Structure formats: structure tokens, C-alpha cells
């Protein structure tokens, strides 16, 4: 990787060494594939024909240098951030500023198996100047151990450390007050850190993966009694069944990540085919019939393969946040957010809970429901997710003017 030092912030460009690309091609050339049962299709996992086709293209047709150059058009930087008890971590991030002087600072946080490029399609939409919707200054960091961010070097990097890291990054960029958006781990971390950083720093937040614990008699008596006394309608029943199918048939990866991340890490680090299959299955299964091209898939996977800390580092967040598989992904009984909260529902999301439970997220001021889109909404339907942000923070929206002096309009 190459960079030019300027004060505390370092402009960043990806520059994968030729030797690393050659090693990848050699590994792909020597790949040994498993057999496959007749008619198995997707029921047993990623189909053999798909993986063979992608491996062949990765080896002989995919032009990483072309994609690398395109990614380098993004305004990327790195910055050293001190995290209490963990020392200094060099963090990579995209920082796209709007031309609108009073644009709203937005922290966009990805999850697994995503990365900073999830925000790419939304950047021109969110930063555009318009009299019809607000504009944002967008900061999209690579989580520690993802993409080109340095990973933690010792155990125990949990929600308080993410909160410290995110806030120090935003404050260093001049954003003492900002809003937050996240899906997947970005959403889970948001539930954990927004109550601690808001309202002093995080003034409002939005997630496209609204998950929460069921209402209880002590914490949510009215909603709890309503749940007991009112029969679930067909939509809610189907949502629970959909969620249970994911838990039973689609969540095995998380058990491995939560309990033995080092073990699966050897396969992810050493075998590009193993890494491809591990993530490709999720890209297809978790999107709402998104028409992936082979180049899109391989560009996505290559970010993991060429990542600074190696792809194994990315899965350790599951262990840390679930305390080695003994807790529910760090959710527990978290305090609801006291700042304005927005949620968006997409039909291809992994978990479908009753929309009435959105109130459990905290001070809910915006709920968006859509008929298209899945787990990677920012990448699949960027205009839809951006539209929700415009409605939530725009004139008449529940979070309009939440950041003092930052309405987002000219």
C-alpha cells in the first residue's frame, strides 16, 4: 500500500504488491475442489459449478488492477487512533465531503461480510446538494481487522472500544456532533454505542437491520400485554417462520465465528477458494435476488483476500461481542437509544420481527418499509436507503435539525 503523510491524516491508495497477486493466481491454479451430490443446488451450500466458474475467472479473467484503480478514486485516508488499553490502531476510512456548507456529518458503519465499499454507490446521492433533501458529509471506516484497517492485537475489543474509536475518528475530523447509520454489525454496534455516545456526540441514528429482544412485562408492559392478548397476524407469523429458518439453516457460520474464529481463520487466510465460498454463499443468500456479476463478487472477495490484517481477523468480532458464544451477539438488555432513531425494513433481511417492536429501539421517529432489497441494502438498493435518510433528516422528518446548525440544505 502507498500513502503520503499529511499532518495526522494520511491520504491512502490501495497498491497490492505484484507478488501477492501472483501468489493468489498460483493458489487458484492448485485448487482442489470437493465433490457434489446430484441435484444439491444451494441446499448444501455454494454450488460447485458457481465456485469453479468464479475461480477460473479470478485466475484468468479478473483484472484486479483495473478495480484497484477504480476504488482508488474514492477519497480514502488512514489515521492513527489510540484506544484505551489497546494502543494505537491505524484505521482506514472513506471521507466524502459535500459541497453543502452545513451538511450533516454521517458515520456509516458496515458489518460482515461487508466492507467499506458498501457505501460506494450511496456517496454521490448522500453528498449531493439539493433544495429537496439534506446533504451529508460521509465517513465510512473499515472496522478494525477489515479492509485496510489494522486489527486489534489482543483479545477483548468490544463495544466500548468501538465507541471510543468511532468517536475519536469523528472528532478528529472536526465532527463533534454527528449521526450514525449501520447494518449488520454496524446496526448491532449502533444499538450498543448510541446510548453511550448520544446525545452528546451521536445526535440520531438509523439502521436497516432492526433487531431487538422481545418485549418483557417489566421493561415494555403495554407492548408485552398487547403481544399476549392480540393474535399474531399472517405477516407476523410468516416473519417469525422466516427468521427461524435462518436461525436453523443459515446461521451455522456465526456459531463458528463466535466460538472458534481462529480455526476457521486458517482456511480463510490460506485458501482463496475457501474464502470465496464462505462469503459468496452469503452474498447470494442474503440479497434479494440481486443480479451479481462475477466481477462484482470477485472485487468484493478480493478486498478480504488482500486486506491488511488478513481475512481471519474479520470474524473475531463475533467472538468478542458474544463473549465466546455465551451471549447474544452483545445485545443483552441494552438501554434503548434516547436520540431520534430510524429503522428501515427490507424483505430480504435475515431477521423479520414485528414492526410494532420498532418502538423497542428507543425514540423511534422514522420507519421505512420497502418491497425490494436485502441485507446489503446500501449496495443493492442505494437509492432506497438514501431516500430513507433524506426523509428522516429532511424538512418535516423526525430528525430534522437534530444536529445544531446542520440542516443539510444550502
Query: Residue 177: CB partners within 8 Å, gap ≥ 6?
Result: 105, 200, 201, 203, 403, 404, 406
Q: Which residues of 72-81 are buried (b: 16+ CB within 10 A; e: fewer)?
A: eebebbbbeb
Residues 6+ apart with CB under 8 A from 308: 1, 92, 147, 148, 149, 150, 151
318 included as an active-site residue: yes
Catalytic choice (345, 375, 388, 409): 375
Q: CA torsion angle for 224, 229, 230, 231 (degrees, to 10)?
A: 110
Query: Which grid coordinates belong to 41?
Result: 443446488
For this structure, is 375 an active site residue?
Answer: yes
Q: Is 184 an active-site residue?
A: yes
How many C-beta atoms surround the C-beta of residue 327 within 10 A? 12
Cell triple for residue 400?
Answer: 430534522
CA distance readout (Å), 6 to 165, 169, 302: 21, 16, 28
In total, the chain counts a number of residues equal to 410
The catalytically annotated residue of 92, 133, 162, 184 is 184
Give the active site residue among 280, 318, 319, 393. 318
- Asked if 193 contacts 382 with a C-beta cutoff of 8 angstroms, the reply is no
Three cell numbers at 116? 467499506
Angle at 141 between CA 140 and CA 142, to 5 degrees: 125
Give the β-pairing of 178-182 and 76-83: unpaired
Catalytic residues: 184, 318, 375
Amino acid at each position: 500500500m502507498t500513502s503520503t503523510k499529511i499532518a495526522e491524516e494520511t491520504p491512502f491508495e490501495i497498491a497490492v504488491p505484484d507478488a501477492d497477486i501472483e501468489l493468489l493466481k498460483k493458489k487458484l491454479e492448485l485448487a482442489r475442489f470437493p465433490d457434489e451430490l446430484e441435484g444439491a443446488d444451494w441446499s448444501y451450500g455454494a454450488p460447485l459449478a458457481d465456485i469453479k466458474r468464479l475461480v477460473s475467472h479470478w485466475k484468468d479473467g479478473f483484472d484486479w488492477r483495473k478495480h484497484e484503480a477504480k476504488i482508488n478514486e474514492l477519497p480514502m485516508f488512514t489515521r492513527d487512533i489510540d484506544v484505551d488499553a489497546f494502543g494505537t490502531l491505524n484505521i482506514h476510512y472513506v471521507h466524502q465531503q459535500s459541497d453543502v456548507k452545513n451538511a450533516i456529518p454521517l458515520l456509516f458503519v458496515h458489518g460482515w461480510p461487508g466492507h467499506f465499499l458498501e457505501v460506494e454507490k450511496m456517496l454521490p446521492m448522500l453528498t449531493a446538494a439539493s433544495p429537496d433533501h439534506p446533504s451529508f458529509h460521509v465517513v465510512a471506516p473499515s472496522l478494525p481487522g477489515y479492509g485496510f484497517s489494522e486489527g486489534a492485537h489482543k483479545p477483548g475489543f468490544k463495544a466500548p472500544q468501538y465507541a471510543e474509536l468511532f468517536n475519536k475518528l469523528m472528532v478528529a475530523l472536526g465532527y463533534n456532533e454527528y449521526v450514525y447509520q449501520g447494518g449488520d454489525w454496524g446496526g448491532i454496534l449502533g444499538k450498543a454505542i448510541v446510548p453511550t455516545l448520544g446525545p452528546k456526540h451521536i445526535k440520531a441514528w438509523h439502521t436497516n437491520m432492526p433487531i431487538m429482544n422481545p418485549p418483557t412485562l417489566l421493561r415494555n408492559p403495554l407492548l408485552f400485554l398487547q403481544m399476549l392478548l392480540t393474535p399474531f397476524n399472517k405477516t407476523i407469523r410468516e416473519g417469525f417462520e422466516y427468521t427461524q429458518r435462518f436461525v436453523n439453516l443459515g446461521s451455522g457460520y456465526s456459531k463458528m465465528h463466535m466460538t472458534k474464529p481462529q480455526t476457521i481463520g486458517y482456511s480463510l487466510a490460506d485458501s482463496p477458494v475457501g474464502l470465496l465460498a464462505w462469503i459468496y454463499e452469503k452474498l447470494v443468500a442474503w440479497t434479494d435476488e440481486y443480479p451479481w456479476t462475477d466481477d462484482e463478487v470477485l472485487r468484493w472477495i478480493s478486498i478480504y483476500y488482500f486486506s491488511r490484517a488478513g481475512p481471519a481477523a474479520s470474524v473475531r468480532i463475533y467472538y468478542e461481542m458474544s463473549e465466546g458464544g455465551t451471549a447474544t451477539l452483545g445485545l443483552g438488555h441494552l438501554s434503548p437509544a434516547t436520540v431520534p432513531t430510524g429503522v428501515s425494513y427490507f424483505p430480504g433481511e435475515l431477521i423479520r420481527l414485528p414492526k410494532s417492536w420498532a418502538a423497542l429501539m428507543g425514540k423511534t421517529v422514522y420507519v421505512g418499509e420497502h418491497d425490494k432489497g436485502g441485507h446489503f441494502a446500501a449496495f443493492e438498493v442505494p437509492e432506497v436507503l438514501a431516500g430513507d435518510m433524506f426523509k428522516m433528516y429532511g424538512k418535516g422528518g423526525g430528525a430534522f435539525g437534530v444536529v445544531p446548525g446542520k440542516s443539510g440544505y444550502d
